[in-house]
Structure 1
Amino acid sequence: MIIVFSDKKSPRLNYILSRIFNDILGVEVYFTFDEEEFLASTLPSINYSAKNMQKGVWIVPHTLLYSSGISRQKTEPISSWKNMPVFFLQEQGDIPFDMFAASFYLITRYEEYHSTALDNHGRYEYTDSIIYRMGCIQEPIVDQWAYALKDELLKLYPECTFTPRKFRFIPTIDIDHPYLYRNKGFIMNLLCLMKDLTGRKFTVFRERLLTILHLKEDIYFNFESLLQLYRTEEVKGLFFVHRGPYGKFDRRYLYPSRRYRKMLRRISQEHAVYIHPSYIAAFNNLQFCKEKMELERVLNHKVEGSRQHYLRFRFPETFRQLLAADIKDDYSVLYSNQYGFRAGTSIPFPFYDMEIDQETKLTIHPSSIMDVTLLRDFKMSPKEAFNKIVEIAEKVKAVNGDFITLFHNSSLADTAEWEGWERMYSEMIRKINITK
């Protein structure tokens, strides 16, 4: 157990110390606001105050954790500590920055509240993030700070024991489009076939026609091979299912499929199946609940997890919407066009609603890498993507975090755009699973 002295009470301080010590480092923390009790204690100690007590690790507080509400924070200048970039610098103390305030700022996504610098889909831009400006967006920097603090404590208290969590690998699949060719209706199929012919796309024409006539499996309907891969490698995955209406940014088939519903029930017997709300449901609570109930009817059980389509979300509205819909776990926190750690951590954390200064029961699971990002934004080949995925996985493993990948069933299909990615995915699963 570690004793932490603070001369002020704060729900924000309670929250972030629980994340750092309980969740990341695996050690109990005891708070005291009594200076005499702190000085008399024989426990490993951290002094989180402006007063130098000549005891334990001294961290001088920034004002953030003792504030309420949301206001613009000055994060510059940026400096370095133990070869890691840091902000919220302090002139005094054993550590040259307020690690607790900086970690809180990143994990709660403080900078995203009321942000107006959004892209065309209403998403926060990664280039506006402090960890991007610090050059550490590809590092689980909060976790790394925590482990560096652990080293400082062990220098003073070598008897201090930690029980860190174990590294977990969680492959996830977003099912935006279960079909490439089927279930589009006679008129749409006819128009697509004519377009293939006039465009002299004879290979696509043949593929489409054979699939429509049920003489060949639809290449997006590759769930059996995914299930077999997961069984062979003994991994548990997550599947996020789109149940919204047809639309520009939503599903591309018109008619429901009894076979697809049956497959979803099969998948749910071995892996968790969660909701992937439609584009229009991102900020529409009624539509979200409708889609969630539709998926629950298909699966015949309650759905408690979610990932936003197009990764469209806002703090705090989206997460309040999830809580209202009885969602317990969200996997949306990553950037669509940049791999890395949006919240600076690889370890799940409870959503903290900054506007009401309250920890909630919704757990956010930060993902770190997505197939579309690697191919379309960074133009990576399958081999380059494999190397980058393994590199990020090793960083997560070093801090005993959760390495969560986001792939789509459509990117694991045999198409010209995604040629070689299915093979790469299988090799990636084996590689990371072996090194767990």
Structure 2
Amino acid sequence: MLLVYTHKISPRLKYVFKHICTRILGVEVEFTTQIEAFIAHDSLKMSYTKQQLGNEFFVKSHDILFEQGLSDLDISIHDWENTKCFFFNGDKSAIPFDIFAASFYLLSRYEEYLPHVKDEFGRFTAVESLAYKHGFLKQPVVDIWAYKFKDALQAQFPEFKFPEKSYTIKPIIDVPSAYNFRLKGIMRTLGGMAKDLFRFRFKGLYFRIMVILGFMHDPFDTYKYIINRQKHTKFKFLFFFLIGDYSTYDKGINPNKKKFVSLIKHVADYCFVGLKASYFAIEDMSILKKEKSRMEAILNTSLKASRHSFSRLNLPKSYRNLIELEIKEDYTMGYIDHIGFRAGSCTPFLFYDLDYEVQTPLKIYSYHLMDYALLKTHSLLDKKKVLNEIINEVKQVNGEFISIFHNYTFSAERKWHGFKDLFNIILESANANEANEN
């Protein structure tokens, strides 16, 4: 156990120390404001305050962990060996930056509460982030800092044995529409045919008719392939099915269609299944509640995980709604068009509500790559290079690599050429890691 002496035990301090020490490094942490208790502790210990007590392991604290609400922070980014950091704390500190304050800033998504320009869907974009502006978006800096902290602690306490942690993956399959042509209903099918004719897409019209008549396979129906891949890895895939009502933004399958319900149940026999909340569910609690009930009726169990359509997040409201509905995990946080670590970490973390100054029970699984982001890289060779680079970043800190692919990503459509290979690289990265450990 690590004992931390500090002048004030705040909710922010407990939150970030537990993420770094317990979730990343696997070490339990306790806090004290009593110097006598600190001196008496005969194992791992440190002080986190303004002034060093004596010769102990000391990290000089920044004010952010003892404040409430938002303040106008002056953030200056510095190079630190192979990475970058901020909140420099001088020479007397055992490490040159207050990594706890910096980690809290990133994990709490402090910058997303500050004024910023949103995109057309009301999303916080990568280019608005501190990480993108200063070139550390593609590094899980919170985890990297945690390991630097571990090395410094180990040097001072060489007899202490830190637990080992290993690299894992969590492949996510996003299903905004289970089929391209099937189960769309008469009006939508006729409308699609008319659109194909009007735009002279005769090949598309031919495929549509052949699929509807049952002579060809629906291009979005890739479930057999995905489930087959699931059978060859110990890491369970997580599917998110959209079962919301048809709208301008959501054009999925009617959730009352028996064949669609059967598909979800079939996938749930092999993989985990969560709810892809519809576009308007982010704003309307009653819609979210209805969709949650629908999915629970299909799965015949309580809903554990959700993800918002279009990766839309409205902090803190979006997460408060999930907490109120007792949804335990969310997979919305990430950037659809940029590869990297939106919250700076590749270790799942609990949502901290900055308005209420409280750690919540909602666990955030921030994704690091969406298939669309790889389309920006042209050749398959370059795509593989970019993918391996981000996987290696996560491997170096024994984190969890979370990727999002869609059901149609595995179709024969030309723009998705080679994406089966890319998905296999992700699966093999975990299998190779397992083989190395054995």
TM-score (normalised: structure 2)? 0.94
Residues 229-238 or 174-183, more deviating: 229-238
Q: Could you tell me whether the CA contact under 8 Å between 2:139 and 2:341 is conserved in 1? A: yes
SS of residue paired to 2:414: coil
What is aligned with 1:405?
A: 403
Q: CA–CA distance in 2 between the matches of 1:248 and 1:433?
A: 41
Q: CA–CA distance in 1 between the matches of 2:178 and 2:381?
A: 26
SS of residue paired to 1:233: coil
Go from structure 1 to structure 2 and tell me whether the alpha carbon gap of 1:16 and 1:215 turns closer, same or farther (over 3 Å shift).
same
- Taking every aligned residue pair, what percent have the same amino acid on both sides? 33
Cα deviation, 1:153-212, whole Å, max 9, x if unaligned, reads 111111112114332111110100111112233344334334434544333222111001
SS of residue paired to 2:362: strand
Task: Please provide the CA RMSD for this pair.
Answer: 1.9
- Is 1:279 aligned to 2:279, yes or no? yes
- Is 1:78 aligned to 2:77, yes or no? yes
Residues 229-238 or 265-274, more deviating: 229-238
Q: CA–CA distance in 2 between the matches of 1:16 and 1:26?
A: 14
Q: CA–CA distance in 2 between the matches of 1:116 and 1:79?
A: 23
Q: Could you tell me whether the CA contact under 8 Å between 2:368 and 2:401 is conserved in 1? A: yes
What is aligned with 1:393?
A: 391
Deviation at 1:337, TM superposition (A): 1.8
Q: CA–CA distance in 1 between the matches of 2:162 and 2:347?
A: 16
Go from structure 1 to structure 2 and tell me whether the alpha carbon gap of 1:235 and 1:35 turns closer, same or farther (over 3 Å shift).
closer
Alignment of 1:328-343 (within 5 A): 328-343=328-343
Deviation at 1:116, TM superposition (A): 4.1
What is aligned with 1:149?
A: 149
- Is 1:179 aligned to 2:179, yes or no? yes
Deviation at 1:5, TM superposition (A): 1.2
Task: Identify unmatched segments of 5+ residues in structure 2.
Answer: none
What is aligned with 1:137?
A: 137
Deviation at 1:26, TM superposition (A): 1.0
Go from structure 1 to structure 2 and tell me whether the alpha carbon gap of 1:47 and 1:239 turns closer, same or farther (over 3 Å shift).
same
Alignment of 1:106-145 (within 5 A): 106-145=106-145
- Is 1:213 aligned to 2:210, yes or no? no
Q: CA–CA distance in 2 between the matches of 1:255 and 1:89?
A: 53
Deviation at 1:38, TM superposition (A): 2.4
Residues 209-218 or 112-121, more deviating: 112-121
SS of residue paired to 2:277: coil
Q: Could you tell me whether the CA contact under 8 Å between 1:386 and 1:428 is conserved in 2? A: no
SS of residue paired to 2:122: coil
Deviation at 1:255, TM superposition (A): 7.7
Q: Could you tell me whether the CA contact under 8 Å between 1:90 and 1:98 is conserved in 2? A: yes
Q: Could you tell me whether the CA contact under 8 Å between 1:183 and 1:255 is conserved in 2? A: no
Alignment of 1:314-329 (within 5 A): 314-329=314-329
What is aligned with 2:371?
A: 371
Cα deviation, 1:187-241, whole Å, max 9, x if unaligned, reads 4433433443454433322211100112222110111221111113343100011
Q: CA–CA distance in 1 between the matches of 2:45 and 2:14?
A: 16
Q: Could you tell me whether the CA contact under 8 Å between 2:123 and 2:313 is conserved in 1? A: yes
What is aligned with 2:417?
A: 419
Alignment of 1:244-263 (within 5 A): 244-253=244-253, 256-263=256-263
Q: What amino acid sits opposite 1:87 in the alignment? A: F
SS of residue paired to 2:403: strand
SS of residue paired to 1:46: strand
Q: Could you tell me whether the CA contact under 8 Å between 1:383 and 1:424 is conserved in 2? A: no
Alignment of 1:37-56 (within 5 A): 37-56=37-56
Q: Could you tell me whether the CA contact under 8 Å between 1:45 and 1:55 is conserved in 2? A: no
What is aligned with 2:353?
A: 353
Go from structure 1 to structure 2 and tell me whether the alpha carbon gap of 1:423 and 1:43 turns closer, same or farther (over 3 Å shift).
closer
- Is 1:435 aligned to 2:428, yes or no? no
Task: Identify unmatched segments of 5+ residues in structure 1.
Answer: none
Alignment of 1:57-72 (within 5 A): 57-72=57-72
In the comparison of the two structures, how many residue pairs are matched? 433
What is aligned with 1:269?
A: 269
Deviation at 1:102, TM superposition (A): 0.6
TM-score (normalised: structure 1)? 0.94
Cα deviation, 1:234-287, whole Å, max 9, x if unaligned, reads 431000110112122212556853222111111112211000001111121111
What is aligned with 1:90?
A: 89
Q: CA–CA distance in 1 between the matches of 2:422 and 2:128?
A: 32
Q: What amino acid sits opposite 1:407 in the alignment? A: F
Q: CA–CA distance in 2 between the matches of 1:50 and 1:254?
A: 59
Deviation at 1:390, TM superposition (A): 2.3
Cα deviation, 1:89-137, whole Å, max 9, x if unaligned, reads 2234232221111111111111112544211111112222222223111
Q: What amino acid sits opposite 1:221 in the alignment? A: D
Deviation at 1:36, TM superposition (A): 3.4
